[in-house]
Structure 1
C-alpha cells in the first residue's frame, strides 16, 4: 500500500507545498527576467525588490516595530551564540537561562567572550520544566538575558514571556518563530536559523532593537558586527540570496493562511493530537517534559521497550512517516511538526502510533 510521505525532520524541515511548487515554476526564469533567482546580482533591481518584499511581509507577520532592524545573515544560530556576546556584552556580564542542549551550547560559547552567569537551569529537574522567573538570579549589572524559547532537541518550550524591565531579553527562536504571534517589543534581540519554520538552511534571521547596535568593540570582525549589516541593509557582502527568496515565499504563504494567530491554532491542534496519542498509550510511549512546557514544534518521545526502536522506525518509513529518529544526544524518537506540517500528517502519525502499540504492546 502506497502512503503519502510526511517529513518529520527537525531541520532542514518540511516546507509548504505551494511554496515548493512556486519555486519549481520560477526556478529557471523568475517573472520573465530570463534569470533564476540563483543567478541574479544581489544588487540588481530584481533582487533588491525580492529582499525588500520579504522584509516587509515579515514585519507585517510579526508586527515588528519601526525601531527594530531585520537582518538576513548567514552562519546559523550557532554563529549567533558568538555574535550576541561579541555585540552586546561590551565588557560586562550577561545572564543565561539553561533549559536544554541549545541554551547550554549558547552559554558555553558566550563564556569565550566574557563573564556569563547561569541564572537558572533545569538540569536537575526530573520534569525538565522551564524554571519560573522568580527563581532567576538576575543582577543589575547584567547587559542582557539569553533564553532559548524552544529547545529543538529536548522538546521544551517557554510557557511565559519573561518580564525583565530594562534588561534586554535575547531569544534563540530558531524552532518556534512564526508559529504564533510574538510581541517583538518585549525583546532586545531575536535570532533564528531558517531551516525549521522559515526556509532553507543557509539563512539566519536576526531582529535587533536599534539601541543595541554599535556596541561591538574594535576587535570584533567586521562581518560579525550587527551594525555593519544594519547599515548595509544585509548587503555588506553577498547574502544567501536563494534562501531569502524562499523565505519570502514562506512569509507570503503565512499571510495568505491568515497570519500567525491562525497558525497558532493550527499548531495547537496538531500538538494536542500527538501528545494525546502518547499520553493515551498506557505507557507504551512516553514524553518526559512537564506538560506546561511541552513544545508545540518538537515532540520527543520514547518507547517503553527501546529494543523496538529499530522496528518502529522501519515500519514508520513503510507508512511514509520519515525522519522520526531522535537526536543523537537524546535518543528515542522525535516528531517535528512545524507550520508546514499539515494536520493530516499528524493524524497519519497518530494512526501509526496506535497501530504499532497494538501490535507490539
Structure 2
C-alpha cells in the first residue's frame, strides 16, 4: 500500500494508526461480534463510548463543567442556521454581529440574516481577506445577542491569534478547521462548533460546545433537530446519532492524548507551519497569501510568482506523493492543509519539493 501525504483541506488526513485500528475493529467492536456501525445507539456499549468521548474532550481541552458537549447532525454549515435559531432570542432585538474574515464567515452571516437583524461588525473583504480585521468590542450595540467569528479561514489561510473580549455578549466561534489543534481560554466563548472533518474524524457531524446557561432560548419556530436543548436533554441522541463518526472521533482523541495532548500538538503545529512559511519567505519564487501577522497554522496558502506554472507544480507534487495541494477555486494558487495528523515528515517533503521545483523552474 502506497500512502500519500494528504494536504487536502477536508475531508482531511487522519492518523494512520487510527484508521488501522478502525480497520482491525470494524467487524468486531469490543468483542461483540458486530461492527460499531451495526450496534444500537441505545446499547450500553455505545452509551459507554459516547460518555468516554465526552471525558476525552474535557480532559484534553480543559473544557469547563459549565459547558455542554453536543454531537449534532449536518456538520458545520448546518450550525450557520442552528446558532441564530438558538441564540437570537437572548435579546428582544434579535440582533447579532458577524466578523467577516472569509468565505465561510460570509456564508454564516448570510444564513443568519434570514432569521434576525444581522450586522457586519468588522471585515477584511477590501484586502481580499488576507488578514484579520481590526475590531473594537466597545462598538457593539448592547442589545446584541451574540458575536460570531470564524477562528481559522481555510481558503485564505488566516486565523484569529487573539480572540476579542466581548464581555457579557456571547462570543460564538466556528472552529471547524482548528478545534483541538491549540489550547483555548474557554472563558472568552459562549459557544464553539466544529465539523469533524479536519482534526476530529470523518465528515457529516459536528461537535458543539455551549455554555449551559445559553440553552433553552431557542426561537419558537426552531426545528426540533436544530434546537441545542433537544440534544442536551438526550445526550445528543434525540434520534439515531452518527455512531461511526463518534467512534472515529473517540479514536482520534485517544491518539491526540497519546501524542501529549494540546500542549505538544500546539508546539508541533507551530513548527510545521514555520517550516513551510520559511520556505515561502526565503525564496522569491513563492508569494505568501496571508499577511504575516495573521497566518494560519492549519492552512498554508501561497502562490507561484509565475501562475502559469501552477499546474506543473501540482502535477509533479502529485507524482511525489504530495496530494491535494490545489488552492480553493475562489483564490487559486497552492494550499497545504497541515492539520494535526500531518507529520513533520510530510511538511519536510513538501519543502524539499518546493526548493527543487524553484531551482528547476526559476
Match of 1:112 among 114, 126, 129: 114
Instruction: Give the CA deviation at 1:126.
Output: 6.3
1:318 aligned onto 2:319? yes
Structure 1, unaligned stretches of length 5 or more?
none
Q: In structure 2, the residue corresponding to 1:39 is in which secondary structure? A: coil
Contact 2:6–2:322 at 8 Å: present in 1 too? yes
Measured at CA, do residues 360 and 46 of structure 1 come closer, stay the same or move farther in structure 2, by a change above 3 Å?
same
Q: CA deviation at 1:59?
A: 0.9
Other-structure match for 2:296: 295
Structure 2 counterpart of 1:239: 241
> Cα distance, 1:3 vs. partner?
7.9
Instruction: State the 4+ residue runs in structure 1 displaced beyond 6 angstroms.
Output: none
Query: Per the alignment, in what secondary structure is the counterpart of residue 85 of structure 1?
Result: helix
SS in 2 for 1:198: coil
* C-alpha contact (below 8 Å) 1:11/1:195 kept by paired residues: yes
The answer for the alignment partner of 1:166 in structure 2 is: 168
| Stretch of structure 1 that moved more, 217-226 or 268-277 | 217-226
Distance 1:127 1:169, change over 3 A: closer
**Which residue pairs with 1:358 in the alignment?**
359
Q: Once the 2 structures are TM-superposed, how far is the Cα of residue 319 of structure 1 from its aligned partner?
A: 0.4
CA distance in 2, matches of 1:25, 1:331: 39
Tell me what 1:200 maps to. Answer: 202
- Equivalent residues of 1:58, 1:251 under 8 A apart: yes
Shift of 1:326: 0.7
- TM-superposed deviation, 1:125: 2.9
Say which is worse superposed, 136-145 or 257-266, in terms of deviation: 136-145
Q: Distance in 1 between matches of 2:60 and 2:241?
A: 22
**Is it true that 1:95 corresponds to 2:94 in the alignment?**
no
Cα separation, partners in 2 of 1:13 and 1:208, compared to 1, 3 Å: same
Q: CA deviation at 1:128?
A: 2.1
Alpha-carbon distance in 2 for matches of 1:331, 1:47: 43
Q: Map of 1:48-63 to 2, 5 A cutoff?
A: 48-63=47-62
Please give the TM-score of this superposition, normalised by the length of structure 1.
Answer: 0.97
Residues 34-54 of structure 1, C-alpha deviations (whole Å, 9 max, x = no match) = 110010100001111111101
SS in 1 for 2:82: helix
Alignment equivalent of 2:213, drawn from 193, 196, 211:
211
Q: Which moved more, 1:120-129 or 1:72-81?
A: 120-129
CA contact 1:62–1:183 (8 Å) conserved in 2: no
User: Which residue of the partner structure matches residue 139 of structure 1?
Assistant: 141
The aligned residue for residue 264 of structure 2 is 262
Match in the other structure for 1:334:
335
Task: Please report the TM-score for the alignment, with normalisation by the length of structure 2.
Answer: 0.97
* Distance in 1 between residues matched to 2:139 and 2:283, nearest whole Å: 39
Q: Please give the per-residue CA displacement for 1:18-74, whole angstroms capped at 9, x wherever unaligned.
A: 111110110010121111001010000111111110111011111111111000111
Aligned counterparts of 2:138 and 2:298: Cα–Cα separation in 1: 25
Q: CA deviation at 1:287?
A: 1.2
Deviation by residue 1:285-317 (Cα, 9 ceiling, x = unmatched): 111211111000001111111111111111001
Instruction: Tell me what 1:345 maps to.
Output: 346
Cα distance, 1:158 vs structure 2: 0.5
* Unmatched runs of 5 consecutive residues or more in structure 2: none
Q: Distance in 1 between matches of 2:128 and 2:335?
A: 19
Q: Which residue of 2 aligns with 1:271?
A: 273
